[in-house]
């Protein structure tokens, strides 16, 4: 019986329908950027100092410039130029007392200002920025700086859980349904992040965003690769991720125009509601329908694709029969990833490249991204370049492991465990063929 790839060769592997669908899903990929790296703008940490009651009034009375105010009232840098004391400690001085003069006001309290006692920022902080971020609104600095790390780790926890579960859900309930549900939840939780009154609620909604956003991005990737023919599968996969990079450029421009984090969050979230219109624009994957024994629905969509592409479907390809392996396709399991030797090897290599491989670098990816915000700063305290060195070493190992994976260029992707298990390199196949031929020649004739 004909496969979907056979049919696409006749009705168009990358014609009008596929190009239209790719552009729609590429927008989805670009819109994923603010969730993945939005912390750079949402959690921007500006220069700051402790708020000290009375300093502003004394500065106005004395006519100080900002530089003079900082020089007279803010502790200097710590050892080796560290800014911690300057940002997180204050002089234990009553700035409202009338004895303080305008020229070196601390001179009458101690021979050297370094001898004055320092205390914590009991009255909050002053931030040197015209806009706002979650850092400035919720004071996520100094002893609370770990809460900013937790904010980013929460979305990465969501990425990891969502990425693990979405494969099963997409195989069980369909790509299109899961895509629309993730879009709706992502858009709704994104708006709730923007209006969250407290840090706790903001953290909860950010976690929910993580659970569905990367999952939706992955479904979009699956859909577009299943709609195109064999020779275009790699290209659309690459450009789907290029769209993500374009989203980075757009995000930087939007963030520059909107320095207030709540308005920025609203602006980058609201377009996601428009993606719900994909209900009428993006059909279900025919490949998935065939795997579910829904051949009639699959053929209806294939005819729709042919019509969009201005092609006619040959009569010999207008019927799809059941596959003898369909029972296996209908019952996917997470254990399938480690059940057989070849798939187990591929799974472990890919797990190393995507989870363990980014554990100690600045990348924000799933498990590595959960730990990275807390760990990377500890490594820089040891040696500033240490995260980059570790990343380079781990990357070299990952590149070597990839060489052990089978080549898929120009090949039909496996649709069953047996097909994936039997994927071998051409050299191995050639050696096996030579071995069989030699063995046959060595066999004595009866």
Phi-psi label, residue 370: left if phi above 0, alpha if psi -120 to 50, beta otherwise = alpha
- d(Cα 38, Cα 164) in Å, to the nearest integer? 22
Place of tokens 């006619």: 312
Indicate whether 360 pLDDT > 90. no
Dump pLDDT digits (tens) for 286-317: 989 988 888 889 999 999 999 999 988 877 77
With cut-offs at 50, 70 and 90, classify the pLDDT of residue 98: confident
The token duo for 47 is 């220069």
Mean residue pLDDT of the chain comes to 81
The token duo for 424 is 């071998």
With cut-offs at 50, 70 and 90, classify the pLDDT of residue 412: low
Check: CATH 1.20.1530.20 for 4-44+142-332? Answer: no
CA distance to 71, 94, 115, 206, per residue, from 76 (Å): 8, 18, 12, 37
The token duo for 266 is 């609203």
pLDDT of residue 364: 40
With cut-offs at 50, 70 and 90, classify the pLDDT of residue 356: very low
pLDDT of residue 417: 61
Helix (H) or strand (E) segment spanning residue 203: helix 199-227
DSSP one-letter code for 328: H
CA distance to 233, 274, 404, per residue, from 407 (Å): 14, 38, 9
For residue 68, how many C-alpha atoms fall within 13 Å in the half-sphere facing its CB?
Answer: 13
How crowded is residue 259: how many other Cβ atoms within 10 Å of its Cβ? 15
Question: At 118, is the secondary structure helix, strand, or coil?
Answer: strand
pLDDT of residue 378: 57
Q: What is the 3-state secondary structure (H, E, C) of 273-321?
A: HHHHHHHHHCCCCHHHHHHCCCHHHHHHHHHHHHHHCCCCCCHHHCCCC
Q: State how beta strands 89-91 and 118-120 pair.
A: antiparallel
How crowded is residue 59: how many other Cβ atoms within 10 Å of its Cβ? 19
Rounded to two decimals, the pTM is 0.75
Residue 130 dihedral angles phi and psi, to the nearest 5° = -80, -20
Q: What is the 3-state secondary structure (H, E, C) of 168-187?
A: HHHHHHCHHHHHHHHHHHHH
Question: Is pLDDT larger for residue 96 or for residue 394?
Answer: 96
- d(Cα 437, Cα 106) in Å, to the nearest integer? 95
Q: C-alpha angle 55/58/64, rounded to 5°?
A: 100
DSSP one-letter code for 406: P
189's CB contacts (< 8 A; 6+ apart) are 205, 206, 208, 209, 212
Indicate whether 107 pLDDT > 50. yes
Contact between 158 and 209 (Cβ < 8 Å): yes
pLDDT of residue 389: 78
pLDDT of residue 400: 83
Contact between 25 and 279 (Cβ < 8 Å): no
Question: DSSP secondary structure string, 34-93?
Answer: HHHHTHHHHT----EEE--TTHHHHHHHHT--HHHHHHHHS----GGG--HHHHHEEE--
In the chain, DSSP finds a helix count (H) and a strand count (E) of 23, 4
Contact between 174 and 288 (Cβ < 8 Å): yes
CA 41 from chain centre, in angstroms, equals 15
pLDDT of residue 444: 55
Residues of the chain with CATH 1.20.1250.20: 4-44+142-332
CA distance to 177, 290, 291, 300, per residue, from 294 (Å): 15, 5, 7, 10
With cut-offs at 50, 70 and 90, classify the pLDDT of residue 131: confident
Instruction: Give the mean model confidence (pLDDT) for residues 117-125.
Output: 88
- Buried/exposed code over 124-153 (b: 16+ C-beta within 10 A; e: otherwise): ebbbeeebbbbbbebbbbeeeeebbbbbbb
């Amino acid at each position: 019986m004909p496969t979907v790839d056979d049919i696409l060769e006749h009705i168009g592997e990358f014609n009008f329908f596929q190009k239209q669908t790719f552009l729609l899903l590429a927008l989805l990929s670009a819109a994923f950027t603010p969730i993945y790296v939005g912390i750079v703008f949402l959690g921007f940490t500006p220069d700051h100092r402790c708020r000290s009651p009375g300093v502003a009034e004394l500065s106005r009375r004395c006519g100080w410039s900002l530089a003079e105010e900082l020089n007279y009232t803010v502790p200097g840098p710590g050892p080796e130029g560290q800014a911690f004391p300057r940002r997180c400690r204050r002089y234990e001085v009553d700035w409202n007392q009338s004895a303080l003069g305008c020229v070196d006001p601390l001179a009458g309290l101690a021979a050297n200002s370094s001898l004055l006692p320092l205390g914590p920022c009991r009255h909050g902080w002053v931030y040197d920025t015209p806009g706002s971020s979650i850092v400035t609104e919720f004071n996520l600095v100094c002893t609370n700086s770990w809460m900013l790390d937790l904010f980013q780790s929460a979305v990465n926890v969501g990425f990891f859980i969502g990425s693990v579960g979405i494969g099963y859900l997409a195989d069980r309930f369909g790509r299109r349904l899961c895509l629309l549900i993730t879009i709706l939840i992502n858009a709704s939780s994104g708006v709730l992040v923007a209006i969250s009154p407290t840090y706790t609620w903001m953290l909860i909604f950010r976690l929910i965003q993580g659970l569905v956003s990367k999952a939706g991005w992955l479904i979009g990737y699956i859909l577009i690769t299943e709609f195109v023919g064999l020779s275009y599968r790699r290209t659309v996969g690459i450009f789907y991720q290029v769209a993500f990079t374009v989203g980075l450029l757009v995000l930087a421009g939007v963030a520059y125009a909107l320095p207030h984090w709540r308005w920025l969050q609203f602006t980058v979230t609201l377009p996601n509601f428009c993606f719900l219109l994909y209900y009428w624009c993006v059909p279900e994957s025919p490949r998935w329908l065939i795997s579910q024994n829904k051949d009639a629905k699959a053929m209806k969509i294939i005819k729709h694709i042919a019509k969009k592409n201005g092609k006619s479907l040959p009569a010999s390809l207008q019927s799809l029969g059941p596959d003898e392996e369909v029972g296996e396709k209908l019952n996917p399991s997470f254990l399938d990833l480690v059940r057989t030797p070849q798939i187990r090897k591929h799974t472990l290599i890919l797990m190393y490249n995507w989870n363990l491989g980014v554990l100690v670098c600045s990348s924000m990816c799933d498990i590595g991204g959960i730990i990275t915000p807390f760990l990377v700063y500890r490594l820089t305290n040891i040696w500033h370049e240490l995260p980059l060195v570790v990343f380079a070493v781990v990357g070299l190992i990952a590149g070597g492991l990839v060489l052990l994976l089978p080549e898929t260029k120009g090949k039909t992707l496996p649709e069953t465990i047996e097909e994936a298990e039997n994927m071998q390199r051409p050299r191995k196949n050639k050696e096996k063929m030579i071995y069989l031929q030699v063995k046959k020649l060595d066999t004595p004739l009866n």
